[in-house]
Amino acid sequence: RLVGFGGERQNVRRTLNIARFTSHYGPEPDTTRDILRDLKRDFPTIIFKDAMMTFNWAKRYDVEHVLAGRWGYGEDYIRDKVKEIARCIQSYKPRLIVLDPTLFHEDERDWITVDGVNFITEEFRQNPSPDYYDPKSNSCGLKYEFALAIRHPFCVWIRGPLEAGKFHDKTVYCGGTEDVPKDKRNQEALYFQLPEGKYALGDSAYKGIDNVTI
């Protein structure tokens, strides 16, 4: 309804309704409902429309002038409110995104899948740099590293944002390049979080890493 699909336009097959919803807001309706429920519990002053506007911005990444036309607010209100609610959502990360060894069974050898994902952004006017150049999209971008538990329905690791063009996925995972000794690398990197004998699954970008199976 908020983005042009009122009750009459929702009288279509369910898959189309979900596709329209996720195209505007990102998560599926059930997931969005759960996030909204948590936000209402923990931040009771948040307004439903403002929360949906924040989801819409995070998914579509429209400039505030476009959001002003779609949502009926002024640009100043949108700028402040989207940042405020996005920080509220972000506050759940330390509690929910955790690589907890107790999650995994003792007989599990392959714990996680890992990959780096580049997200297109507007150019950073206050901090312009060629390091943000994303060769995959031929635009400005930020890189995030994600890890999902293989046998459990959890995202257990997010690292970022990093400059999309500055760090290779392998460098992010290992905490440094191959010519840097392991004890000199960033010990907070995902490579150092896996116990000995436990492995990640990755694509060819991670070739040559001793605890990654390609």
pLDDT in tens, 65-83: 999 999 999 999 999 999 9
Q: What is the average pLDDT score of the chain? A: 95
Q: Give residue for tokens 């999902």.
A: 148
φ/ψ (deg, to 5) at 21: -65, -50
Q: What string of DSSP letters covers the chain?
A: -TTS--TGGG-S-HHHHHHHHHHHHSS-HHHHHHHHHHHHHH-TT--HHHHHHHHHHHHH---HHHHHHHH---HHHHHHHHHHHHHHHHTTHHHHS---GGGS-TT-SEEEEEEEEEEE----SSS--GGGEETTTTEEEEEEEEEEESSSS-EEEEEEEEETTT--HHHHHHTS-TTS-GGGS-TTSGGGGSPTT-EEE--GGGTT-TTEE-
The whole model's pTM is what?
0.88
**Does residue 201 register a pLDDT over 80?**
yes
Digit-coded pLDDT (tens) for 121-177: 988 888 889 999 998 899 999 999 999 999 999 999 999 999 999 999 999 999 999
φ/ψ (deg, to 5) at 172: -65, -45
Digit-coded pLDDT (tens) for 35-63: 999 999 999 999 999 999 999 999 999 99
Give CA–CA dist 64/32, Å, rounded. Answer: 22
Query: What confidence score (pLDDT) does residue 187 get?
Result: 97
